[in-house]
Structure 1
Amino acid sequence: MRKSLVALSVLAASLPAAVNAADYTDGDIHKNDYKWSQFNLMYAFDELPSESSHDYLEMEFGGRSGIFDLYGYVDVFDLTTDPDSDKAGADKIFMKFAPRVSLDALTQTDLSFGPVQELYVATVLEWGGGKTGPGGFAAGVRGPNTQKIGLGSDVNVPWLGKIGLNLYGTYDSNKKDWNGYQISTNWFKPFYTLDNGSFVSYQGYIDYQFGMKEEYSSASNGGAMFNGIYWHSERYALGYGLKAYKDVYGIKDSDALKSTGFAHYISMTYKF
């Protein structure tokens, strides 16, 4: 369930090609196409659960092509293979892909209403990150292998502008069962532009899970909110993020495993 901690500069709201209205009634479903990719060198301080501090490299990408909207990343942990790292012996890689299918483009119909600009069939696919990876898994326990599917949207809200807002049901392939729901939102708001054209943004996301089953989760609900302040130029970005957790991943906060609190992140980005 790890999300990108940098950029969410990936959001369509932040990209010039995505400022066009989502109106495909003329049959041109490629009018808003774009693509991007970047590498993020990151360090997490006291990431929950398990209060893990570690480095990782994130290869992040996304774009739009016709009916398809895509966001994804691959995280590589413990780059120096440090035996003293709390990631030593854990899965080295975690992957997340989040393709959405535009219902507006698929039907060539304007489905917008009120602040809702576009509707999607939204999915998320997650793999890896076992042991001390996402979810604080114990040794020998497999990491996430989940698929989410639901309804997605782009919504225009005051000040923040266009945000992504998605509601999913979660299928856990490790347990061969459905396990609750997740509501997710993300945003990217440039709020100060420097004389050289670079800018500072407020960016982040919220992931909140609910309705999780007792046999799989010690808490029926929980989630996280990331708040980042980033400086962006054409090729580079530097940022700091504060992440707040509450019973994250459905793990009840306890003395044995801390799942409620705060973590800090720093990142350096190169954009291709």
Structure 2
Amino acid sequence: MTFSRPRRVCFGALSLLLCCSTQLLAAPAVATDSAQGETASPAAQQTENRSPYLSSWYNQDLTLIGSKDISFGPQPVDDVYLEYEYFGRKGPFELYGYIDVPKVLGIGNSHDSGVWDRGSPLFMEHEPRISLDQLTGRSLAFGPFKEWYLAFDWIYDHGSSQASRQNTLYAGFGTDIETHTPVLLSANLYGRRQWENYGAANENSWDGYRAQLKYIWPLARFDNGASLTYVGFTNFDFGSQLGDEPGRTANATVSTNVLLYAFTHLRFMFAARHFHNGGNWRDGTELNFGEGDFEGRSNGWGYYAGVGYQF
């Protein structure tokens, strides 16, 4: 049995973490700070007249990203893509999302396709959370857990056919965790509802779970106004029925590590991401997608570099 290869990677959750680094270096963490990413920079939190951005709470940016050896499928992908991203916190609603234009410059390896060569014209992800503390009007904090949320993550890849399309909803609960250090920490636990999934056997079912941990550590602030921040997150997917299929696994882990060098508008980043059974593919399995046998590679390191502008 063969499967279509995934077209895109999930990078926007990482960019979400990067957006709040300026504030973290400018002031101590407060109760509403979260590694999930709803915290804006100090300039964005000022009045509309003084903010260098278009909104005092709704943050946007455009980023050009180059990636290499990205193993969300059994054939590592190299790509250069454009990403539009937004995030913000308004009342109980923590908003986040991004839209990617794959292979926007026509640059990618033989396993990559995008908007110009009959691949997916867009890949998007939206990760809203809703504060249960604010909905109930009372603090639900206890121990190290500062605030609780209903948490969602919707991923959609608009492939040209069902075999090249993904439509996944993660739904569950999230929390922000007090570390008593400059490090911000958030966690989410989801159940997965799967619709299209590149023709895989778990389509149109509730299938498995995801445990997610996100963390930010401000490192330095410089006289030129720039900041240096370490950010990261780890996704552990488990309990999938794909483990019953040849070449697939029930569990998968992706861990991402980033250094961000950022000004008020301009941002430069480098990321190293480690995959273990990326996309629930078993590393080293012999596969065939209709173009001859090959040995799948879903373990190892992938890399990203990007330059972006926040507005």
Q: TM-score, normalised by structure 1?
A: 0.85
1:266 counterpart = 2:305:
yes
Cα gap change, 1:229 to 1:12, in 2 (>3 Å): closer
How far is 1:161 from its partner? 2.3
Q: Give the match for residue 163 of structure 1.
A: 185
> How far apart, in 2, do the equivalents of 1:161 and 1:82 lie?
37
Deviations 1:217-266 (A, max 9, x none): 81010121110111011111111110000001211112532111001110
**1:14 and 1:141, CA in 2 relative to 1: closer, same or farther beyond 3 A?**
farther
Deviation (angstroms), 1:187: 2.1
Distance 2:27 2:155 in 1: 28
Q: Which amino acid aligns with 1:210?
A: F
User: Which residue pairs with 1:29 in the alignment?
Assistant: none
Once the two structures are superposed, residues 102-155 of structure 1 have per-residue CA deviations (whole angstroms, 9 ceiling, x without a partner) of: 000000111111221110010111100659xxxxxxx96233201111111111
Q: Is 1:47 paired with 2:86?
A: no
Counterpart of 1:264, as a letter, is Y
Deviates more, 1:222-231 or 1:75-84: 75-84
Paired residue for 1:121, among 115, 134, 150? 150
8 Å Cα contact 1:6/1:267 also seen in 2: no
> Going by fraction, where is strand more abundant, 1 or 2?
1
Instruction: Please report how far the alpha carbon of residue 82 of structure 1 lies from its aligned counterpart in structure 2 after TM superposition.
Output: 5.4
**Greater C-alpha radius of gyration:** 2
More helix by share: 2
What residue ranges of structure 2 are gaps of 5+ in the alignment? 1-8, 33-44, 46-55, 197-202, 286-294
- The amino acid across from 2:257 in the alignment is N
Paired letter, 1:21 = A
Give the corresponding residue for 1:2: 10
Name the CA shift for 1:153/1:83 in 2 (closer, same or farther; >3 Å): closer
> TM-score, with normalisation over the residues of structure 2?
0.75
Asked if the contact 1:209/1:249 (under 8 Å) is kept, the reply is no
Alignment partner, residue 76 of structure 1:
101
Rounded to whole Å, the distance in 1 between the matches of 2:123 and 2:185 is: 25
**Unaligned residue ranges in structure 1 (runs of 5+):** 23-31, 132-138
Report the Cα offset of residue 186 of structure 1.
Answer: 1.7
Whether the 8 Å contact between 1:160 and 1:187 is mirrored in structure 2 is no
Q: CA deviation at 1:179?
A: 0.8
Q: How far apart are the structure 2 equivalents of 1:75 and 1:185?
A: 23
Aligned residues, how many? Answer: 256
Structure 2 residue corresponding to 1:246, chosen from 251, 259, 276: 276
CA RMSD of superposed structures (Å): 2.7
